[in-house]
Structure 1
Amino acid sequence: MSAPDIFDRVARRLRRDRAAAHDYAAHAFLRDVMVEGILERLDAVRRDFTDILDLGAPDAGIAVPNARIARADPGFRFAQRTGGVQVDEDRLPFADGSFDGVLSAGVLDQVNDLPGALSLIRRTLRPDGLFLGAFLGAGSLPALRASLRTAEGDRPAARLHPQIDVRSAGDLLVRAGFSLPVADIETFDVRYASFGRLLDDLRGMAASNVLVDRVAMSRETLARAAAAFAAAAAPDGRTTERFVIVFLTGWAPDASQPKPARRGSATASLAAALKPGG
Structure 2
Amino acid sequence: MSAAPPQIFDRALLAARLDRAWRGGGDRPGADFLLRRAADELAERLVLVKRAFAVAVDAGAPGPHAAAALAARSGGGSTLRLAPTAVSAGSGGFSVAVGDLERLPLAAESADLVVSLLALHQVNDLPGAMIQIRRALRPDGLFVAALAGGDTLTELRQSLTIAESEISGGVSPRVAPFADARALGGLLQRAGFALPVVDVDSLVARYADLFALMHDLRAFGAANALTERSRKPLRRAVLARAAEVYAKRFADPDGRLRATFETVWLTGWAPHESQPKPLRPGSATARLADALKPREGDR
Shorter-chain TM-score bucket reads over 0.9
After superposition, the CA RMSD in angstroms is 1.6
Offset of residue 229 of structure 1? 1.4
Mapped to 2, the partners of 1:28 and 1:80 lie a distance apart of 14
Identity %: 45
Higher alpha-carbon deviation: 36-45 or 245-254: 36-45
Mapped to 2, the partners of 1:129 and 1:188 lie a distance apart of 30
1:12 aligned residue (14, 17, 20)? 14
Mapped to 2, the partners of 1:72 and 1:248 lie a distance apart of 19
2:275 aligned residue (238, 257, 261)? 257
Is 1:75 matched up with 2:92?
A: no
Offset of residue 25 of structure 1? 5.0
- Uncovered stretches (5+) of structure 1, i.e. residues with no partner: none
Offset of residue 4 of structure 1? 3.4
Per the alignment, residue 294 of structure 2 pairs with 276
2:64 aligned residue (50, 59, 62)? 59
Is 1:166 matched up with 2:166?
A: no
Which residue type is aligned with residue 74 of structure 1?
P
Offset of residue 239 of structure 1? 1.3
- Uncovered stretches (5+) of structure 2, i.e. residues with no partner: none
Per the alignment, residue 245 of structure 2 pairs with 228
Mapped to 2, the partners of 1:25 and 1:257 lie a distance apart of 44
Per the alignment, residue 146 of structure 2 pairs with 134
Per the alignment, residue 187 of structure 1 pairs with 202
Offset of residue 275 of structure 1? 2.3
Structure 1 runs of 4+ with >4 Å offset: 80-83
SS in 2 for 1:27: coil
Mapped to 2, the partners of 1:162 and 1:143 lie a distance apart of 13
Mapped to 2, the partners of 1:7 and 1:87 lie a distance apart of 17
Mapped to 2, the partners of 1:23 and 1:152 lie a distance apart of 29
Offset of residue 79 of structure 1? 2.6
SS in 2 for 1:222: helix
Offset of residue 81 of structure 1? 5.4
Which residue type is aligned with residue 31 of structure 1?
L
Give deviations 1:175-218, integer Å, cap 9, x for gaps. 11111111110100111110011101111222211111111311
Q: Aligned ranges for residues 91-102 of structure 1 at < 5 Å?
A: 91-102=103-114
Per the alignment, residue 44 of structure 1 pairs with 48
User: Could you tell me whether the CA contact under 8 Å between 1:13 and 1:76 is conserved in 2?
Assistant: no
1:219 aligned residue (221, 236, 253)? 236
SS in 1 for 2:38: helix
Figure out how many residues of one structure are paired with residues of the other and give that number.
Answer: 278
Per the alignment, residue 113 of structure 1 pairs with 125
Offset of residue 262 of structure 1? 1.2
User: Could you tell me whether the CA contact under 8 Å between 2:115 and 2:144 is conserved in 1?
Assistant: yes
